[in-house]
Structure 1
Amino acid sequence: MLKVLDHLEEGFIAFLMAAATTIIFVAVMHRYASGVSFLYDYVGHLDFSWAQELCIIMFVWMAKFGAAYGVRTGIHVGVDVVINRLEAKNRGRFIVFGLLSGALFTGTVALMGGHFVWENGAHYGITHALGIDNPELYEGPTTPDLEWQTWVVYSAIPLGSSLMCFRFLQVCWAFLCTGELPHHDHGHVEGLEEDTTDPQRAAQDINWFEMDDGLHPKDIAHHPDDENKEKGQ
């Protein structure tokens, strides 16, 4: 089930990125083509005034769900200088505290965002879609260009924050069970494997900033094999 959620999350973010890039490209090309006399008759009647607003909305949704993806993969920037100097027992407590604090914050944002969206027109939209008429409900504003209900756009806040809260709890539970945190190696290139057959090349491929346990930088003092390799060079 979690793998399905992971694939849906990644696919949704990739779709938003690809669609927003395509729309921006087409809108820019249309703008330049409209300034060319012999092309104006072909593209001048096309209206792309909605493109900028749609791309802004897509980037907002991309950012909210991308933040949840960042929690799951460990790509968010964190200042852990003090935590890394603590003993293992105390370090684990602070990590759990930080993860639960993140879950509490994003959960609060999700609840408050959901209440705002509900009062901003979602209540009216849902009841109206079900055929229930209630004149006391607030219909809510619409966006300037697309004329979409703003509660649909603002739904990115409770949905994305709820997913981010779940990811914090997921990472916290995994840390309690395994003692490991998700870590993303920014120096790793997909498809490029290290060459361990050539001693000189293998020595060059040593990453002295590699995270052994997801918490501490690689220390040569704790890697006698690498230390001996360096002395033999």
Structure 2
Amino acid sequence: MSGHSTYQPKGPIGRIVNSFEENVIAILLGLMTLLTFVNVVLRYVFNSMVIWGLEVVLILFAWLVLFGIAYGFKITAHLGVDAITNMCSAKSRRVLALISCAACLIYAFLLLKGAWDYWAPFAGMMETTGRWFPTGFNDATRDRAFFETDQVPMLSMFRFLEDAINQGETYSKLPRVVPYTMLPVAALLILYRLIQATIAIVRGERESLIVSHEAEDAVADARVNYEE
């Protein structure tokens, strides 16, 4: 079966978190579809458009991709090539899986550092020092909290940011820190899900980070559904 069909959240908290993640992904996809549909109708029927619609759709799409990466690790939905590993013994596959986990964890940690360093100036915070791993905070970080999106209107719920990070200056458009916040959040989620997956492999609860035999399982699922 596919990774999504075999994943079963454990406990009430696990089910709540799983439901929350799936609902967020569905909401993001739904909003993207709705905004795109509305803009198409407005453009070709009324010769008008929601001027900020395209930028919001781009933001939502970026959020969907980043959020989906972490979610994919959780439900073992990422595709990969396992032609060589399947020729190895069970013990060798386990070792190779753990090596893959180590490489992915290092990459995820570097991604988190990069995401923080990119986002921090827009939040009026400091970047980290160090080329690969954080060794402190850079006091000379250039403040970018005043940067705004191109067309997205400012929402009253985010007015607190004017005093919190923009020295009391008002925003005419939504500050970039809001959409960019998904960068460190998603990077942290990816690292967290990879740690979970690694622990599951160590415990023998899963075999790898990727879906195995996706095509064969899809055919088997289709056969079962047809017979039912």
TM bucket (normalised to shorter chain) is 0.5 to 0.7
* Alpha-carbon distance in 2 for matches of 1:149, 1:189: 47
Contact 1:100 1:169 in 2 (8 A): no
* Alpha-carbon distance in 2 for matches of 1:151, 1:89: 46
The structure whose Rg is larger is: 1
* Alpha-carbon distance in 1 for matches of 2:65, 2:225: 31
* CA offset digits 1:170-217 (Å, max 9, x no partner): 112112213524746444769x63638xxxxxxxxxxxxxxxxxxxxx
What does 1:91-170 align with in structure 2 at a 5 Å threshold?
Answer: 91-123=93-125, 137-146=143-152, 147-170=173-196
**Bigger share in strand:** 2
Give the TM-score normalised by structure 2: 0.67
* SS class of match (1:60): helix
4+ aligned runs moved over 2 Å, structure 1: 1-5, 120-124, 136-140, 178-190, 192-196
Range that drifts further, 89-98 or 49-58:
89-98
Partner of 2:16: 4
Runs of 5+ in structure 1 lacking a partner? 36-43, 125-135, 197-233
* Alpha-carbon distance in 2 for matches of 1:195, 1:138: 60
Match of 2:34 among 22, 27, 38: 22
Letter aligned with residue 29 of structure 1:
V
Percent identity among equivalent residues? Answer: 22
Partner of 2:71: 69
Please report the RMSD computed on the Cα atoms of aligned residues, expressed in angstroms: 2.5
* Alpha-carbon distance in 1 for matches of 2:219, 2:184: 33
* Alpha-carbon distance in 2 for matches of 1:3, 1:102: 26
Higher RCO (CA-CA < 8 Å; seq separation 6+): 2
What does 1:211-222 align with in structure 2 at a 5 Å threshold?
Answer: none
Q: How many residues align?
A: 174
Contact 1:96 1:172 in 2 (8 A): yes
Runs of 5+ in structure 2 lacking a partner? 1-12, 127-141, 153-172
Letter aligned with residue 61 of structure 1:
W
Contact 2:122 2:143 in 1 (8 A): no
* Alpha-carbon distance in 1 for matches of 2:220, 2:125: 47
Give the TM-score normalised by structure 1: 0.66
Contact 2:121 2:145 in 1 (8 A): no
* Alpha-carbon distance in 2 for matches of 1:138, 1:59: 23
How far is the alpha carbon of 1:137 from its aligned partner? 4.7
